[in-house]
Amino acid sequence: MSTMLKMLVEEKIVAIFRNIENQHADQAGQALIDGGIRLMEVTMNTEGATEIIHRWREKFDGKAAIGAGTVLDLAMAEEAVAAGAQFLISPNLDEEVIAYGVRHGVSVWPGVMTPTEIVRAWKAGAEAVKIFPMATLGVKYLAEVRAPLNNIPMMATGGVDLDNIRDYFAAGACSVGMGSKLVNLDWVRRGDFHLLTERASKFVEAVKSV
């Protein structure tokens, strides 16, 4: 098991930063770390994503692992890894991205939906897969695909909140990806970073009992 996969399984939460403004990014990242978050991804469709990833790798070294999200193809993967991304997450399955990750020792957790895609990703060398969009598919779907494919670590992304987070783990998720429920951009823009820390610590507390 790679260091990143071990961290994913142990920490159980990946915070997704999408469309975070560069000037707020560092404070928002620190606020989540203060709340106990240890895995953070910046999506590649965020303006200045590679710049933030590069800066965070230095700034948060030893405090959190920094990855890139919404990595759709090989060109994006190369850009993200050059910036220092320690893991790559995508909404889609691109075998070239997985192969690149395997060659460069970077964990790739691709987005998949069907049992066929899950197995294809696994055979291509993905250490874990991201079941997406979970908000639409629902936890029953996750439990059903986990039954025959329980050897493949599955991260669930979409629809996770404080009321249902335990249900995702009960259905077999090894971790969850969380965006706006964790990184509330209104709070960020208002400078209410303490609210981010409080929210993060509630989720971190919730997964400790899993």
Segment 26-34 shows an average pLDDT of 98
The one-character DSSP state at 95 is H
Q: Indicate the number of domains in the chain.
A: 1
Residue 209: predicted pLDDT? 83
Residue 178: predicted pLDDT? 97
**pTM: predicted TM-score of the whole model, two decimal places:** 0.97
Range of the structural domain that residue 164 is part of: 3-208
126 contacts: CB under 8 Å, gap ≥ 6: 98, 108, 109, 110
Tokens of residue 109, six digits:
């957790």
Known catalytic residues are: 41, 130
In this model, does residue 200 exceed pLDDT 90? yes
Residue 123: predicted pLDDT? 98
Partner residues linked to 14 by β-bridges: 177
Question: CA–CA separation, 1 vs 96, rounded Å?
Answer: 21
Task: Identify the band that residue 210 occupies on the pLDDT scale cut at 50, 70 and 90.
Answer: confident
Residue 30: predicted pLDDT? 98
Average pLDDT in the chain: 97
What are the backbone dihedrals phi and psi of residue 21, each rounded to the nearest 5 degrees, phi first?
-75, 140
CATH number of the domain encompassing residue 8: 3.20.20.70
Q: What's the per-residue H, E or C state across 112-123? A: ECCHHHHHHHHH
Alpha-carbon distance values, 99 to 77, 102, 108, 127, 132 (Å): 11, 5, 9, 12, 21
Segment 25-37 shows an average pLDDT of 98
pLDDT tens-place string over residues 65-114: 999 999 999 999 999 999 999 999 999 999 999 999 999 999 999 999 99
Strand order across the 154-157 sheet: 107-109, 87-89, 65-69, 39-43, 13-17, 175-178, 154-157, 129-131, 111-112
Segment 118-135 shows an average pLDDT of 97
pLDDT tens-place string over residues 158-177: 999 999 999 999 999 999 99
In this model, does residue 3 exceed pLDDT 90? yes
Residue 38: predicted pLDDT? 98
Task: Identify the band that residue 133 occupies on the pLDDT scale cut at 50, 70 and 90.
Answer: very high
